[in-house]
């Protein structure tokens, strides 16, 4: 029987986004505040996922051995370092979160049966790499507060109450929604970026956060005048709003995760919807996990 095991590690390091072949103005335009000298730092959190058979001792791997490998090959070298200088790979391709995940995979792959490297730059930004050449995933998270009422205009109040319970009460209720947007793309062989992070965050702010935050979804977002704003339908609509703008940035929208409360969340796997138009998607069953 095979099993995936995960090992957590952490390190603190600094880096700077700067390409010597570009002018100061060009660097600032491309990387913004990340160009400031001598750089800036993060407390990185690393998750190493490994696949193997469960042995007679009930283990896939001896985690003490795994800990030693990660420390020897990665964290002891990166901890309290200036990343641009520590490894030659980061002089060729800038040490962005997504490129760091790729290079860490390369360092550990000869020693461990890897299936995924997940690297958190901070709690609202992380990357995943699964060994597919220059392809990686980048996730940014944000939040908005909104109210909604779960009730179909096609049903009576009694029928809505039977289906949605307290959530069908006429004056609605609110949530502090937590939104995670994951994009997929090729890591640029020089900048280390699979998408312009500032542009990506601006896209999410413009398309989602500004119109949704402090709104009553049923009344303020025209789409939900007829569509019941369940977490699933909200996440689906957000994926429809973001797909084309993210494509215009040179990346692919991979997943939208909406956390309505600590007890409820859903995920839209956008690759499942890629062949459908936005109009068609809105009419189809929601592809979500709760």
What CATH number does residue 161 fall under?
3.30.479.10
* Stated pTM of the model: 0.90
Residue 1 banded pLDDT, cuts 50, 70, 90 = confident
What's the residue count for the chain?
A: 290
Please, what is the Cα angle at 243 between 144 and 175, to 5 degrees? Answer: 20
Considering just the CA atoms, what is the radius of gyration of the chain in Å? 22
117 vs 273, more confident: 117
Is 214 part of the annotated catalytic residue set? Answer: yes
Which DSSP string do the residues of 169-199 spell out, in sequence order? -TT-EEEEEEEEEEEEEEPPTTT--SS-HHH
How far, in Å, CA of 233 to CA of 167, rounded? 15
The stretch 103-125 carries a mean pLDDT of 98
d(CA 66, CA 5): 10
Q: Tell me, yes or no, if 158 is annotated catalytic.
A: no
Structural domain of 16: 1-122
Identify whether 176 is part of a domain: yes
Choice among 81-90, 199-208, 255-264, 271-280 with the minimum mean pLDDT: 271-280
Residue 269 confidence (pLDDT) above 50: yes
Task: Catalytic residue, from 260, 266, 267, 270: name it.
Answer: 260
Mark which of 122, 156, 179 sits at the end of a domain.
122
Query: Which of 89, 167, 186, 207 is the catalytic position?
Result: 167
Taking residues 265-278, what's their average pLDDT? 71
d(CA 123, CA 140): 9
**Looking at 91, 122, 153, which one is the last position of a domain?**
122
Count of domains for the chain: 2
- Condensed to tens digits (0 to 9), the pLDDT of residues 16-35 reads 999 999 999 999 999 999 99
Q: 29, 173, 214, 226: which one is catalytic?
A: 214
Q: Are residues 109 and 20 in the same domain?
A: yes
| Residue 237 contacts residue 282 (beta carbons within 8 Å) | yes
> Could you tell me if residue 270 is inside a domain?
yes
158 and 249 inside one domain: yes
Residue 127 covered by a domain: no
For 157, counting Cβ atoms within 10 Å of its Cβ (0-12 exposed, 13-18 middle, 19+ buried), the class is exposed
217 and 254 belong to one structural domain: yes
Has residue 172 been placed in a domain?
A: yes
């Amino acid at each position: 029987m095979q099993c995936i095991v995960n090992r957590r590690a952490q390190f603190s390091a600094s880096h700077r986004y700067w390409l010597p072949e570009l002018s100061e103005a060009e660097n600032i335009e491309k990387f913004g505040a990340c160009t400031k000298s001598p750089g800036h730092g993060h407390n990185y959190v690393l998750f190493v996922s490994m696949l193997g058979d469960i042995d007679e001792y009930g283990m896939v791997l001896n985690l003490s051995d795994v800990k030693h490998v990660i420390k020897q090959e990665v964290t002891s070298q990166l901890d309290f370092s200036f990343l641009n200088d520590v490894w030659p790979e980061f002089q060729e391709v800038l040490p962005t979160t997504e490129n760091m995940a790729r290079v860490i995979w390369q360092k550990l792959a000869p020693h461990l049966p890897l299936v995924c490297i997940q690297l958190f730059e901070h709690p609202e930004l992380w990357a995943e790499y699964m060994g597919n050449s220059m392809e990686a995933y980048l996730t940014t998270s944000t939040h908005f507060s909104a109210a909604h009422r779960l009730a179909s205009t096609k049903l009576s109040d009694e029928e809505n109450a039977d289906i949605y319970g307290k959530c069908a009460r006429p004056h609605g209720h609110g949530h502090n929604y937590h939104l995670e947007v994951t994009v997929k793309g090729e890591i640029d062989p020089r900048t280390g970026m699979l998408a312009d992070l500032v542009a990506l965050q601006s896209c999410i702010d413009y398309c989602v956060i500004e119109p949704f935050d402090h709104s009553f979804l049923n009344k303020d977002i025209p789409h939900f005048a007829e569509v019941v704003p369940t977490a699933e339908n909200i996440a689906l609509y957000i994926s429809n709003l973001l797909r084309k703008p993210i494509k215009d940035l040179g990346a692919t929208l991979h997943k939208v995760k909406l956390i309505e409360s600590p007890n409820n969340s859903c995920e839209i796997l956008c690759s499942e919807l890629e062949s459908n138009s936005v109009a068609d998607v809105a009419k189809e069953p929601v592809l979500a996990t709760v």
